[in-house]
């Protein structure tokens, strides 16, 4: 998948919008997949992207958070933390499956399928240029920003 064009998708997002990859040509895209709204790690990760939003924008990069949460939960999460970017609701796991982020996870000794925290950077031509899997939240958004800035400067 790396260095290959990403298959076009359309997905429902907050603010009553739809995100269509092909309509975003000319801009870099960060898709960060996270397990659940309003949980400690996911909140911290989203706040980190929020806090760097202006720098991402300066690097011609749009940010979208993706989880299986409902649109209502997303809208509340976005409003509560004042995220300046949209959250994509993927309850059918269409996007999750496209990016292969649904993994068998263990929680309290029980196995279940869930989203593995992952981030993808798509260039302005719709080509997947970088992926981070099994993400650790600390300093992650800053690392994604650094790569986005380098990619933007080189294009």
At 109 the pLDDT is 86
In this prediction, residue 104 carries a pLDDT of 86
42 is a catalytic site residue: yes
Q: Which stretches does DSSP call E strand in the chain?
A: 10-13, 17-20, 28-33, 61-67, 86-89, 102-107, 110-115, 118-122, 128-132
> pLDDT digit string (tens) for 6-18?
999 999 999 999 9
Catalytic residue among 31, 42, 122, 135: 42
Per residue in 21-59, pLDDT tens?
A: 999 999 999 999 999 999 999 999 999 999 999 999 999
Give me the CATH topology for the region 10-154.
Answer: Glutaredoxin (3.40.30)
- At residue 116, the pLDDT reads 94
């Amino acid at each position: 998948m790396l260095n290959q064009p990403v298959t076009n998708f359309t997905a429902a997002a907050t603010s009553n919008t739809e995100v269509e990859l092909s309509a975003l040509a000319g801009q870099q895209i960060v898709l960060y997949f996270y397990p659940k709204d309003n949980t400690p790690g996911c909140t911290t990760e989203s706040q980190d992207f929020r806090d760097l939003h202006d720098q991402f924008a300066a690097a011609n990069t749009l940010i979208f958070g993706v989880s299986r949460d409902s649109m209502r939960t997303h809208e509340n999460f976005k409003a509560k933390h004042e995220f300046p970017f949209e959250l994509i609701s993927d309850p059918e796991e269409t996007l999750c499956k496209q990016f292969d982020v649904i993994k068998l996870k263990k929680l309290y000794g029980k196995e279940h399928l869930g989203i593995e925290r992952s981030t993808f950077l798509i260039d302005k031509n719709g080509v997947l240029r970088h992926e981070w899997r099994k993400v650790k939240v600390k300093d992650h958004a800053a690392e994604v920003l650094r790569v986005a800035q380098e990619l933007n400067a080189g294009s």
